[in-house]
């Protein structure tokens, strides 16, 4: 038997913290860039912005957004996707 141990596949605490921070930053930046692009495109296309506003105002009338309401927001889905 060798006195050296095989390398572990487990992350150290420092690596786990670094990966967690990285994932948060990447997720934040991706969301920020996506929303920025959507807002830019809506600003460049005021007719689409007005139509989206009308449809959102008609669907989301309460303070809370429900999954059922989201399923009816097809135009919003078209704009985001």
- The tens digit of pLDDT for each residue in 5-41 reads 656 788 899 999 998 988 888 887 888 889 999 999 9
Place of tokens 């985001």: 80
Cα separation, 57 vs 2, in Å, equals 70
Nearest one of 64, 63, 56 to 80, comparing CA atoms? 56
Residue-wise pLDDT tens digits, 35-55: 999 999 999 999 999 999 999
Cα separation, 12 vs 16, in Å, equals 6
Say if pTM beats, i.e. exceeds, 0.85.
no
């Amino acid at each position: 038997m060798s006195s050296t141990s095989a390398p572990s596949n487990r992350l150290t605490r420092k690596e786990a913290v670094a990966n967690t921070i990285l994932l948060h930053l990447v997720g934040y930046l991706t969301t920020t860039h996506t929303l920025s692009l959507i807002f830019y495109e809506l600003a460049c296309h005021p007719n689409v912005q007005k139509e989206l506003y009308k449809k959102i105002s008609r669907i989301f009338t309460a303070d809370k957004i429900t999954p059922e309401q989201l399923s009816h927001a097809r135009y919003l889905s078209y704009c985001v996707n």
